[in-house]
Structure 1
């Protein structure tokens, strides 16, 4: 609970993943991938309940072993490629809100996100009187140095003349990193849509915590980082 508001964490983990099959239960650093997000949520000083929404019996068993709540196996209608995170959010709130005021969506594919990031993002949520807070990270490469290519591969006008400068002199751009999404439940249920407004604020995370596992290469990189201790362990 924070500022008298009850906080529900939702970790969505459907079984269907074409680019990296069964990714949510792959072993990372000696424990299943999904357990990293469950444990980060449980270590948060503000989160009251942690719900895992999954259609995978094995993932459900892993979640229960880690003391997360698995109220049911997710309906097939919410487990297809066409199902959105918003669909799952609304369904879970409708059925399992339990008087919660705030919902924190934590994708299990962001295992390096720590409890301190969750807590700081929630504190920002109240500091800004926000309707939503979304985590971002600085772009590794400026989008000003990217463009479409013509069919003949000509690079004419590929970079605008005023952008031909040292990378450190370019303005910093940010991208979504997929780690944390926080919503005021009443506002979300009133509008039934996710949008970025003047009451949506960015919580900035360092690149080293912002890996989003979608492919085998992503997993291999994070596995190497975990094995080498290349990210801070002070928040474990």
Structure 2
């Protein structure tokens, strides 16, 4: 049976929040949170890799215990999809890899047992791909011709009576390498693992996101 590895893509170019991946979050580089999280699960995964084109990011990755994949600059553009980083990493590693756990550096905080539980579900159900979702309790609608048209509720309906809707929270993705080779990380057939936790609200793209993450981290017991 092939290995299960974690890959954390972390390119250097970040226009909205410069040097985002190594910006200090409560004194620790943002990237390091995902590395440290993966390393606490070495009973479930075999290796932890960071894929990057940036020397400073690579040094942080090595310092915190990850292995480094040197990603070519042409695979690090703003519009470059994550799948190309995963495919490149698998080509460089060139080993019998069965399953990839994708961790995004911009989602630094995860429930302690999430990865363990997710891999248990993945293996027990013999899945090809899994991704994490959370329930959204907002009353959503569209604005058409300057009028608000409710989408998931009727005017006056209580929030607790809404039909459940879910969003991708980005905490983790688990995918068989056979799917990655077909340019798929997850799709409509993938298993949605429901995670309802305050950490699912954190996805860092702006300074405001960063400050919110610091607030949650400082006030969390995990």
Q: TM-score, normalised by structure 1?
A: 0.86
Give unmatched runs, 5+ long, in structure 1.
Answer: none
Kindly indicate whether the alpha-carbon contact (under 8 Å) linking 2:111 and 2:197 is maintained by their aligned counterparts in 1.
Answer: no
Map 1:75-224 to 2 at 5 A: 75-142=72-139, 145-150=140-145, 153-155=146-148, 158-159=149-150, 163-164=154-155, 165-189=157-181, 191-198=182-189, 200-210=190-200, 211-224=202-215
Q: Write out per-residue CA displacement over residues 138-179 of structure 1, whole angstroms, 9 at most, x where no aligned residue.
A: 11414xx321342xx333xx1269622101111121100111
- How far the C-alpha of 1:66 sits from its partner, in A, is 0.7
Structure 1: how far apart are the matches of 2:8 and 2:36? 11
Kindly indicate whether the alpha-carbon contact (under 8 Å) linking 1:138 and 1:207 is maintained by their aligned counterparts in 2.
Answer: no
Q: Which has the higher strand share?
A: 2
Structure 2: how far apart are the matches of 1:218 and 1:31? 16
Kindly indicate whether the alpha-carbon contact (under 8 Å) linking 1:20 and 1:216 is maintained by their aligned counterparts in 2.
Answer: yes
Kindly indicate whether the alpha-carbon contact (under 8 Å) linking 2:152 and 2:163 is maintained by their aligned counterparts in 1.
Answer: no
Kindly indicate whether the alpha-carbon contact (under 8 Å) linking 2:4 and 2:100 is maintained by their aligned counterparts in 1.
Answer: yes
Kindly indicate whether the alpha-carbon contact (under 8 Å) linking 1:135 and 1:205 is maintained by their aligned counterparts in 2.
Answer: yes
Change (3 A) 1:138 1:162: closer
Runs (4 or more) in structure 1 with deviation over 6 Å come to none
Q: Write out per-residue CA displacement over residues 183-204 of structure 1, whole angstroms, 9 at most, x where no aligned residue.
A: 0112332x23344243x10112
| SS of structure 1 residue aligned to 2:78 | coil
Q: TM-score, normalised by structure 2?
A: 0.91
Structure 2: how far apart are the matches of 1:36 and 1:161? 36
Give unmatched runs, 5+ long, in structure 2.
Answer: none
